[in-house]
Structure 1
Amino acid sequence: MAYCQNSREDEMNDPFGFAMQPCTFPPGTDQKIIHAFDAVDKDCNGYIEESELRTALSKCNQTYTARTIRFFMCAFSKDTTRIGPTEFVDLFNSLKNWRDVFCRTDRNRDGIVDANELRTALNSLGFPVSPKAVNFMIATYTREKSSTGVSYDKFIECCAIVKGLSERFKWQENCPGSATFTYELFMQAALMFTAA
Structure 2
Amino acid sequence: MTTESYRLIPEGSPAFSFKQVEAVLARAFGIADGKRKTFVARLQQLQKLGLPAGTNTGRGSRAAYSTWQICEFQLYLDMLNAGIPPALIAARFATAPLYASDGTGRFSEKMAIEGRAFYMHLRINALDHLSSDSDTTPSADSPTHTAYSCGADLAQVLSSAQGCPGLLIDSAARIRSLREALAIEVPGTTDIPLFQHYADE
Return the structure number with greater strand share: 2
TM-score, normalization by structure 2: 0.27
Return the structure number with greater helix share: 1
